[in-house]
Amino acid sequence: MSVIPLKGMRGAIARNMTLGWQAPRVAMTVEVDMSACLGQQVGVTPQVLSAVAGALRDHPALNAWLTPEGIAPQSVVNLGMAVALAEGLAVPVIRNAAARSLADMAQQVRELAAAARQQSLPPKAYQGGSFTVTNLGATGIDWFTPILNPPQVGILGIGRTLDTPVVRDGQIVIAPMMSMTLVFDHRAVDGHPAALFLADLRKRLEAGVLP
């Protein structure tokens, strides 16, 4: 079999992943009851992205870049959305995500994912992201720890939603539980504010994302 050279898209992925892996990163995971999000006209991914955007607006320490000069807070939430391609990975950016309605977010997800797979997006569509979300739930993965997307200081990995026995008011019930793993750069963000962000995100999803 021939060797596949690390160039083009594969080379760019390799370089970026190496930089992300070198960061002093920390991962933390929570389980989310998705009962309020299921059965909606809008899928899980847009709801998660909308909730992430709102949580980042209220926890701006995660909405930042780490540059050679220091920590650069980003005034607008520009969400990177990981899209799997046959030959690699693309991360188009949803601009000003915190200002978008849920319906608008769903449209953005559909259009950007389709255009990324068709490789019809301009280079600027992949630039300027302030935080990234990657969802492997559709593949049956329970949870995973994604690699940071420099210069961003945080990334969220989403696993599948699985009917799981949980305890509610002393009783065992079945609930659709989904894992979320936050990976963050400890040079820029400490554990406590990162945990508060993740707790807020869980609260938003369990309450149901507003349209």
**Identity of the residue numbered 195:** A
Burial label for 156, CB within 10 Å (0-12, 13-18, 19+), is buried
Strand order in the sheet with 171-185: 25-33, 171-185, 154-168, 131-135, 79-81, 93-94
Cβ-Cβ contacts under 8 Å for 81 (sequence gap 6 or more): 45, 49, 91, 92, 93, 94, 109, 112, 113, 132, 133
Relative to beta strand 131-135, strand 154-168 is parallel
Catalytic residues: 186, 190
Structure tokens at 96: 């000003």
